[in-house]
Amino acid sequence: MDIGDLTLNQIKEISKMVGNKNSCGLNAMIGQKVIVRTYSAGVWFGLLSEKSGSEVILKSARRMWRWHAAESISLSAVALHGINQDKSKIVEAVPMQWLEAIEITPCSEVAAKSLEDAENVKAG
């Protein structure tokens, strides 16, 4: 068999047989709701859609302008327990956001719900 003669469908079938590279390692969180910390764009919550090196694409991305953990004091506690909605300021979601991540933390269902249900912060 000459690899140059393979059809796209045959390549897709071979890919399925050897496993999806996104299911483990550095791409294991693709498809999960995550919190992303950046160097210069703050902290974001959304669905991790793509990752290449430190670059990520979040879908339904909400900037966490101010956050207070529902329990404890750290951002990892937010990913576990969610936010105190009265003390946090979460911005309305944009459909998609490109970011340069320095930290990506998967969210528990409780945490994701608290961030998704947070009121959109208003200016003023």
The residue that leads in pLDDT, 101 or 27, is 101
> Residue 1 domain-assigned?
no
Percentage of residues in the chain having pLDDT higher than 90: 73
> Residue 47 domain-assigned?
yes
Residue among 78, 100, 98 at smallest CA distance from 87: 78
Report how far residue 32's alpha carbon sits from residue 94's, in angstroms, rounded to the nearest whole number.
17
pTM of full prediction above 0.85: no
> Residue 37 domain-assigned?
yes
> What is the pLDDT at residue 28?
86
The residue that leads in pLDDT, 5 or 108, is 108
Reply yes or no on whether the pLDDT at 26 is more than 60: yes
> Residue 6 domain-assigned?
no
> Residue 14 domain-assigned?
no
Q: State whether residue 99 is helix, strand or coil.
A: strand
Which CATH number is 72's domain given?
2.30.30.100
What's the average model confidence in pLDDT over 96-115? 97
Report how far residue 70's alpha carbon sits from residue 121's, in angstroms, rounded to the nearest whole number.
18
> Residue 103 domain-assigned?
yes
The residue that leads in pLDDT, 8 or 79, is 79
Amino acid (one-letter) located at 122: K
Domain total in the chain: 1
> What is the pLDDT at residue 2?
65
55-66 and 43-52: which strand pairing?
antiparallel
| CA 58 centroid distance within chain | 5
The residue that leads in pLDDT, 6 or 35, is 35
Domain enclosing residue 108, as ranges: 30-116
> Residue 87 domain-assigned?
yes
